Amino acid sequence: MTVPPVPHAEVTVDLTAIRDNVSRLSRAADGAQTMAVVKADAYGHGLVPAAWAAKAGGAEWLGTAVLAEAVALRRAGLPGRVLAWLAAPGEDYDTALDEDIDVAAYAPWQLEEIAAAAGRTGRPARVHLKVDSGLGRGGVMPAEWDTVVEHALRLESARALRLVGVWTHFAYADAPGHPTIGTQLEVFADAVERAELAGAELEVRHAANSAATLTLPEARFDLVRPGLAVYGLSPIPDVATAAALGLRPAMRLAGRVALVKSVPAGHGVSYGHTYVTPRPTRLALVPLGYADGVPRHASGTGPVHVCGRTFPVAGRVCMDQVVLDVGDADVDVGDDAVLFSDGRHGEPTAQDWADAAGTISYEIVTRISGRLPRRYLGAEATQPGRRQQSDEARHHQRTEVG
Ligand SMILES: *Cc1c(COP(=O)(O)O)cnc(C)c1O
């Protein structure tokens, strides 16, 4: 057996953090069921290991945007309910129904394609109808709602589908108290009532993302759909840190210092010389760059933690590397350079990188490249059949999707 080489950089995912965050969220759901959202390769953490960890934390449901990820969950043996909510014409609904996946609809063409798949497979679909209560993205406009509900109920009478859910999504859940929240709740309640008056026997009404799960009890209904908080990041960073919300970031991104060298004062650093050394100093090269998902917008600002100290990236973020001005700090080749982690020992967090790049922590973790190996901690506690597994065997690449 070959031992994998020590990687120049890697992503470590603590699956026990995902498990514990999900149990924290399902306590917050306070009687409602919990759907752990694992879209986008579980926000970059690895679809299948993250999904098992969410199950270990008590998630009754798993949610994805694209159908291919929902199918990948089933093929990996994940049990329970799985909802996929994004579809384009020609979507492979046959496979969705064969794999017992719940599907979403917000347009008549979708209902027709779903019903046709039900006819071919002999499996009635479980459909969640989405109302645009004010996000202005997917969903049926309230003016069209009764027509689309009737359409769905006609197909239900023909045994092509079961209308099991009505759902919506907030525009401003991350700004607790924002006036649109109350308006969206009213539009949603009205849509639910109209569907039920028309004869729908709904199993679940759902609206809450992470922020609403944590801050808006009246939005919990029968099921909550947290995503970001599952991975331990704060959905309301202006209001509360992850730690204050009882969450622990699961992802750590680190490279290993590949070169340390002395340079004179006035030495331009990296493309465009946007940083020039103010004094004689030492530069450390870290083999992580924008091709790995490090945002180039964090040039000159992104924080990197080495040997107990945090240095901003000196100059531009390159495709595969960044440079730090480490001065006389005790930094050596081979040292761990942590871009983000759970922050418990003073390292930066994904939120710090989001602030440095002028974006949100969602984008920081989802953009980390598949070329970096993922190392999973806590697999024996969260993954079925993994109790005997060695460290080497747990050192595997990002989950394949689609
Ligand atoms: C992404 C997403 C979620 C989860 O949102 P977070 O803010 O990450 O908790 C929930 N519902 C829908 C429809 C989504 O697209």
Cα angle value 96/154/141 (rounded, 5°): 80
- pLDDT at site 396: 44
**Nearest-atom index, ligand 1, CA of 226:** 9
Q: What is the 187 CA–ligand 1 centroid distance (Å)?
A: 19
**How far, CA to CA in Å, does 273 sit from each of 10, 266, 317?**
28, 10, 11
Strand 309-312: give its sheet, edge to edge. 309-312, 303-306, 336-340, 251-256, 9-14, 374-377, 395-396
Ligand 1 pocket test, candidate residues 41, 82, 225, most atoms within 8 A of CB: 225
Could you report the per-residue pLDDT of 91-122, keeping only the tens digit for each?
Answer: 999 999 999 999 999 999 999 999 999 999 99
Q: Does residue 200 share a domain with residue 289?
A: no
Q: Does residue 73 share a domain with residue 40?
A: yes
| DSSP-assigned letters across all residues of 160-205 | SEEEEEEE---SSTTSTT-HHHHHHHHHHHHHHHHHHHTT---SEE
Q: Does residue 267 share a domain with residue 141?
A: no
Buried b (16+ CB within 10 A) or exposed e, 350-379: bbbbbbbbeebbbbbbbbbbbebbbbbbbb
- pLDDT at site 386: 72
* Residue 227 Cβ contacting ligand 1 at under 6 Å: yes
Domain count, the chain: 2
pLDDT band at 7 (very low <50, low <70, confident <90, very high): confident
Q: Does residue 213 share a domain with residue 184?
A: yes
* Residue 213 Cβ contacting ligand 1 at under 6 Å: no
- Atom 13 in ligand 1: residue holding the nearest Cα: 169
In a domain, 391, yes or no: no
Cα angle value 242/35/359 (rounded, 5°): 40
Q: Does residue 92 share a domain with residue 42?
A: yes
Q: Does residue 270 share a domain with residue 204?
A: no
As a whole number of angstroms, the distance between CA 36 and CA 54 comes to 6
Q: What is the 346 CA–ligand 1 centroid distance (Å)?
A: 29
Q: Does residue 150 share a domain with residue 56?
A: yes
In a domain, 2, yes or no: no
* Residue 167 Cβ contacting ligand 1 at under 6 Å: no
Residue 375, SS3 per DSSP = strand
Where in the sequence is the domain holding 104, given as residue range(s)? 15-230
**CATH number of residue 130's parent domain:** 3.20.20.10
Q: Does residue 256 share a domain with residue 221?
A: no
Q: Which of 39, 43, 93, 275 is catalytic?
A: 39
Q: Does residue 158 share a domain with residue 226?
A: yes
**Axis crossing angle, helix 108-121 with helix 142-157, rounded to the nearest 10:** 20
**How far, CA to CA in Å, does 367 sit from each of 72, 139, 296, 375?**
20, 26, 12, 17
Q: Does residue 352 share a domain with residue 209?
A: no
Ligand 1 pocket test, candidate residues 37, 61, 85, 135, most atoms within 8 A of CB: 37
In a domain, 238, yes or no: no
Q: What is the 223 CA–ligand 1 centroid distance (Å)?
A: 13
- Atom 15 in ligand 1: residue holding the nearest Cα: 65
43 is catalytic: no
* Residue 26 Cβ contacting ligand 1 at under 6 Å: no
Q: What is the 35 CA–ligand 1 centroid distance (Å)?
A: 10
- Atom 4 in ligand 1: residue holding the nearest Cα: 227
39 is catalytic: yes
Cβ contact 126:61 at 8 Å: no
- pLDDT at site 6: 66
Could you report the per-residue pLDDT of 292-317, keeping only the tens digit for each?
Answer: 999 999 999 999 999 999 999 999 99
Mean pLDDT over residues 40-57, rounded? Answer: 98
Q: Does residue 169 share a domain with residue 218?
A: yes
Could you report the per-residue pLDDT of 205-239, keeping only the tens digit for each?
Answer: 999 999 999 999 999 999 999 999 999 999 999 99
Q: Does residue 220 share a domain with residue 140?
A: yes
Query: Of 184, 200, 230, which residue sits at a domain end?
Result: 230
Q: What is the 360 CA–ligand 1 centroid distance (Å)?
A: 14
**Nearest-atom index, ligand 1, CA of 169:** 13
Alpha helix stretches (DSSP H) within 242-339: none
The DSSP call for residue 301 is: T
- Find the distance separating the first CA and the last CA of the chain, reported in whole Å: 29
